[in-house]
Each structure stands twice: as structure tokens, then as C-alpha cells.
Amino acid sequence: MPDRLVVLYRGNRPPATGLIERLADTVYATEEELPYLLPGADALLAWVTITPAVREAWPDNPEKAPRWVHASSAGVDSFLFPALVEDPGVTLTNARGVYDQPTAEYVLGLILALAKDFPGTWEHQRRREWRPRPSDGITGRTALVWGTGPIGRAVARLLRAVGMRVCGAGRTARTGDPDFGTVHDSATLRTALAEADYVVLVAPLTDGTRGMVDAPVLAAMKPGARLINVGRGGLVDEEALIDHLAAGRLAGAALDVFAQEPLPAGSPLWDMPGVMISPHTAGETTSEREALVEVFLDNLTRHIEGRPLRNVVDKRRGYVSGPNPA
């Protein structure tokens, strides 16, 4: 049994706390309490992950830092601070697998909503206006999925299933990929951007991806294309995106994540035509909490028994890069 497990929470504690407490000496900490409870803990379950609390509470003495941190999210950018990354004795795991299919379904829903202009239809309904009009199709349209991890693969498979043409963008160029067909690297990305009707961002936020969708990338996109971001807000230069939307080069965008969350009320994105905004909910479902705690309980059991953990993050890369142990 771990000497002490700290569970960082906000609002509601995770489900199945009884099971967790039977496996570990468990204490619960809010973000304000974490600096007092984290030092000396063996493990940390970060039930809330989009927060600077872990970085701010991390002990100065490495001997007082937890040896294992589990993030209940796919993205781990909040945990990639030097003291954690550079300590070889700290293992970081995440919730890879929980969000794959829900996010893919959400992306398909966004593409359909943009193509069929569902927001416009709902606005006409609100005004009691009868305004028949044609809409775009998605069969045969091209989607560039930027990010080739498990979530990107789930997105690619679902978009292919509805008749879209799909390609990927990642670190290594290749052909014959079972989900993406062709994966583009930086050498061929501009050509792919010029051909894509939808650019879907699902990449993790790392030093290498921060601000990757900047003004030159947006200018390279096909006129009339649409951008969908369900990855991290920091992937996009929001000011450049606003400029390109305002100029009419892009037909629209569906944005689930932002550089600052909640999105400030004064942001021009709220009122821009063709822009759909959602509050970082692309992967959330009614069964999400149970699925997240199931992943953690599996790893907690492995931790207690001394077996290899699943979903171990490559801290230098910022994501899980290898296969899971049995």
C-alpha cells in the first residue's frame, strides 16, 4: 500500500472513493490545501488537471516529492514543469483511452454542424423564420487530422466511416497508415493544408506544438476551409485566427479549447460568424468519471503490486509514446 495518496479535487471528489481508500492511505486536497498535503506523499491523483496547483505546490526537496503522479486527462501540459520532468524518479501517467471515441464523435458532430449550418437553423427557429437554404455535404471532403495519437486515430476512423477523405499530420511522414493513409510532416504540410476542407487539431500541447497554427499556417489553409480545435488552446495563435476569420479567408471554426479558459467575455470569437464555441467538453460524457477512475484503479493496483504502470508519459515529449504493458 502507498504510504500516502493525495487526491487533488475541485468541487466533487472522484467516484469509488471507497475502493481507492481500501487500496491506499488516502487524503483529499483542494488546490489551496495541496501545498500543505503534497510534501511527503507517495502518489498524487490529479482529479483536476487544468490548474497550476501541482506546479506551485511541488516540494523544493525532491525527497519530499511524490514518486507517481496520475493525471485524469489525456493532456498533461499542466504537469510538464522542470522539477517534475527532470526528476527521473517521478513517473507520470495519464488517462489515455478514455477520451478517444467521445472526442471523435464530438468532432464529427462539429463538422456536421458547420457543414449543415445548424447554428443558423437554430437561430432561425428562435426567430420563427422559415428560411429554406442548401447546405454543404461532407462525403468526399478532406479532413487533415493534426495529431496522430489514439484520439487522432479515433477521429480519422470515424470520419472515414462517413465518407470523408482523411490524412494526418505528425512528426514522421509515412504512407499506408491504416487510419490516416498518408501522414504529412513539416516538409509536405503546406500542400496538405491547401487541400483540406477541415483541419482538426488533436495534438498535445508541448514546447514543439505551442503556437503551431500561426499566421503562415492559417494563410496556407484552403480558402473557405474550417478549423476545429479539440486539442489545446495553446496550439493556435488566436489573434491570427481572428484576423483570418474576419478577413473571410476561412469559412468558420469550431473551438473547444482556448489559450485562456474560460474564454474572456470580451473575446471577438464569441460573436464571429461561422464560429462555434464550446467550454472544453469535447471528450466529456455522462460515464466519463467512472471510466477515469477505472483507469486509475488499474494503475493503483499495479503500483501496489510492483507491476509496470499503464499510460506512462514520456515527460520529454509530453505524451504516451509506447505500448502499454499487459
Dump pLDDT digits (tens) for 247-290. Answer: 999 999 999 999 999 999 999 999 999 999 999 999 999 999 99
As a whole number of angstroms, the distance between CA 225 and CA 322 comes to 34
Q: What is the pLDDT of residue 2?
A: 56
Q: Judge whether residue 1 has pLDDT over 60.
A: no
Q: What is the pLDDT of residue 326?
A: 87
Segment 7-24 shows an average pLDDT of 96
- What does pTM read for this prediction? 0.96
Domain residue spans in the chain?
A: 5-98+286-305, 100-277
What percentage of residues in the chain have a pLDDT greater than 90? Answer: 98
Contact (CB, 8 A) for 89 and 66:
no
Segment 75-92 shows an average pLDDT of 97
As a whole number of angstroms, the distance between CA 309 and CA 325 comes to 7
Mean pLDDT of the chain: 97
Considering only CA atoms, which of 318, 298, 307 is closest in space to residue 45?
A: 298
As a whole number of angstroms, the distance between CA 87 and CA 37 comes to 20
Burial code (b: 16+ CB inside 10 Å, e: under 16) for 262-287 equals: ebeeebebeebebbbeeebebbebee
Q: Judge whether residue 176 has pLDDT over 80.
A: yes
Q: What is the pLDDT of residue 3?
A: 75
Q: Judge whether residue 310 has pLDDT over 80.
A: yes
* pLDDT tens string 97-138: 999 999 999 999 999 999 999 999 999 999 999 999 999 999
Segment 50-73 shows an average pLDDT of 97
In CATH terms, the fold of domain 5-98+286-305 is Rossmann fold (3.40.50)
Residues identified as active-site = 232, 261, 280
DSSP 244-287: HHHTTSS-EEEES--SSSSPPTT-GGGG-TTEEE--S-TT--TT
Q: Judge whether residue 142 has pLDDT over 60.
A: yes
As a whole number of angstroms, the distance between CA 253 and CA 240 comes to 13
Domain 100-277 is in which class?
Answer: alpha beta
Q: Judge whether residue 79 has pLDDT over 60.
A: yes
